[in-house]
Amino acid sequence: MKANWRTCLVSLSLLLSAGILPAGEMDPSSPRQEVVLAAGWEFHRGPEAQAPAPGFDDSARESIRLPHTWNARDGQDGGGDYYRGDGWYRRHFRVEGSWAGKQVYLQFDGANRSAEVFLNGRRLGAHRGGFARFRFDATAVLDFAGENLLAVRVNNDPNDNMVPVSADFTFFGGLYRAVSLIATERVHLDLLDYASPGVYVRQAKVSAEAAELDALVRLANDGEATSQIRVRLTVLDAAGNTVRVVENTGSLPARSRVQTAIGFVLPQPHLWNGLADPYLYQVRTEVFAGETLSDAIVLPLGLRYFKVDPDSGFFLNGRYLDLHGVNRHQDRPDKGWAISEADEREDFDLISEIGATADRQSHYQQSQSWSDLGDRSGLVMWAELPFVNDVKNDPEFFANAKEQLRELIRQNHHHPSICFWSIGNETFVRDAKVIPADTNDRLLHELATVAHEEDPSRLSTYASNGDVKELRASHTDVIAFNHYFGWYRGEVEDFASWLDQQHSLRPDLKIGMSEYGAGANPAQHEEPVRKPEAPGPWHPEEWQSHFHEVYWQALAQRPWVWGKFVWNMFDFASDGRNEGGTPGRNDKGLVTYDRKTKKDAFYWYKANWSDQPVLHITSRRFAARTQPITTVKVYSNAETVDLRVNGVSRGRKTSTNHIFLWPDVELVKGENQIAASAQRDGRELEDHCIRIYSPQTDAAP
């Protein structure tokens, strides 16, 4: 759930003594305190047996600030040789003496892939999994009067018994999300419940008439005496007005963890309705020990109901909603996964600009701030377990996959934007002679069972790169496919017939498209365009555009495809790749890795998906021409578009599919001015580019 509750009260003296920044907005009514350990870290790449020792000299180590990865450069430059091993982080800090008598936790929002945590020379514990938040109770080890030493060993070696074993993206090692200290009273919400908020408001039944809710609150008493407690839930509307208050009382024994359930109904709820109306309530949960407020947090609450029909697609609050959107990897050039909230907002703004209604968080648990953006904007989200590629026939491997799925669900349960829990992507048995062929299906079945046990209110899903004839079993509520006709295999025109075949062979299945796409280097161009070798050195931008034109026109005519997710929104690092003229890069993004260039295919989708006026001349980066005759293509959601070449009108065109074509345009030698104009919603639209014609001449004999 929410990575930082932002409900802390931190004294200025604590901030000054620790050199720590406050964790965002704070609720002064809560006694919980939280600080972020951002600056002041020392880092060493490689093994360091003495690193946990308080007396170890780290003065020669690299000084860094979180978030951090040690693969920011070597994980993106190709060769498949980026560093995979240990990285040691050390930080000295002090806490205010008033924290004595409180319960203090260390929180890590993301450490890839595994982490071992030491405080003042003592091992607090380890966490296995690169994407979920985790916490340790530091109370018994913390020095409340002097200096403390936090040492963390992070390792991104793939040779361990957990998911994912391998994947087609770089595993950036490091403490790439925030590290925090949280101080609570002895009686508090349970922070060790898979690092969740400890509060789950389950939507048992929701309609326009009433929302039946079941709140489950997990509590902890780390004191030495039994406490009489009162749990109060206050539901606030979007304006901050109280709409419902419910309470429960009981006795909480010393050194115990319990849960309490509270059921209640909200009549005539204001529904969370996607982009059209992403209405959010808030639920304030307060825990009183006797008459004293002991802990409090605030969570968003978006009330909605949804379903998928095999013949009609996705319905939100009883109405059809076309779920079309993108897959998103979180890395950035020279940063890897160690990105900022500003980076995430820029990514989200680009996805919003294109007109997406949905986002697939591929292929791992993404940040709390990312899902917060989805909640507030109304973007429907698919959240995914990082079970990718290989499966191992080992109880420890099975247990780790299920553990990471529970973390994903419990930490993100409160996000109304998340409607789907994915249990994996393109998983397989690599060698059936070594591992029983049914191993993958056995684990998928167990994961689907965990998803239903943890959260029966949402739909489970899975991304397969097979087809319905190859499905050994259908484990999840819905399923989706990753296919690249016209790129890795077959012809792009094969896609529509393949899709219809899947539906006719298994009309009972609720089928989506979780991935489809083609690479594009914005510096590579050709006319006329031909299907390139994939993966290969030549990824012309024009082929990516043609690919997506064919795919989207097929998908737009098939509403029964419940979700349609482009691969990928952004180019991303895959250090083992060497294609499209850029080593270490998967260039299937609609936007370049640095987020500076929107490829033509971006505007194709924007013209189809967005309500904003769009007018875009394609192949604008293909300025230098050697042939005198060319085709000018424009993407627009206007009814008609006018084209002028060197000031002379080439005529006004209409289109029923957002593609406007002017074939056989003759260029003059030198620079040619291309200008398109249109009207949409009372606005005058214009776009311009140049084409420079230099005739080819045969070499002299």
Q: Which residues are catalytic?
A: 426
Pick the closest to residue 51 from 130, 151, 177, 166 (CA basis): 151
Other CB atoms within 10 Å distance of the CB of residue 412: 24
Spell out the alpha helix ranges (H) of 538-640. Answer: 541-556, 600-609
SS3 346: helix
With residue 686 as reference, give the H or E element that holds it. strand 683-693
SS3 87: strand
Tell me the residue type at 582: T
Cα(354)–Cα(324) distance, integer angstroms:
10
Residue 692 — φ and ψ, nearest 5°? -110, 115
Give the end-to-end CA distance of the chain in Å, rounded to a whole number. 73
Tell me the residue type at 394: D
- For 151-167, the three-class secondary structure string (H helix, E strand, C coil) is EEEEECCCCCCCCCCCC
SS3 429: coil
Q: C-alpha angle 364/368/371, rounded to 5°? A: 80
* Burial classification of residue 656, based on how many CB atoms lie within 10 Å of its CB (0-12 exposed, 13-18 middle, 19 or more buried): exposed
Q: Residue 374 to residues 122, 274, 345, 406, 418: CA-CA distances in angstroms?
A: 40, 9, 11, 21, 8
Residue 451 — φ and ψ, nearest 5°? -60, -40
Structure tokens at 651: 């005529």
Query: 499 Cβ partners below 8 Å, 6+ apart?
Result: 511, 513, 554, 555, 558, 561
SS3 415: coil
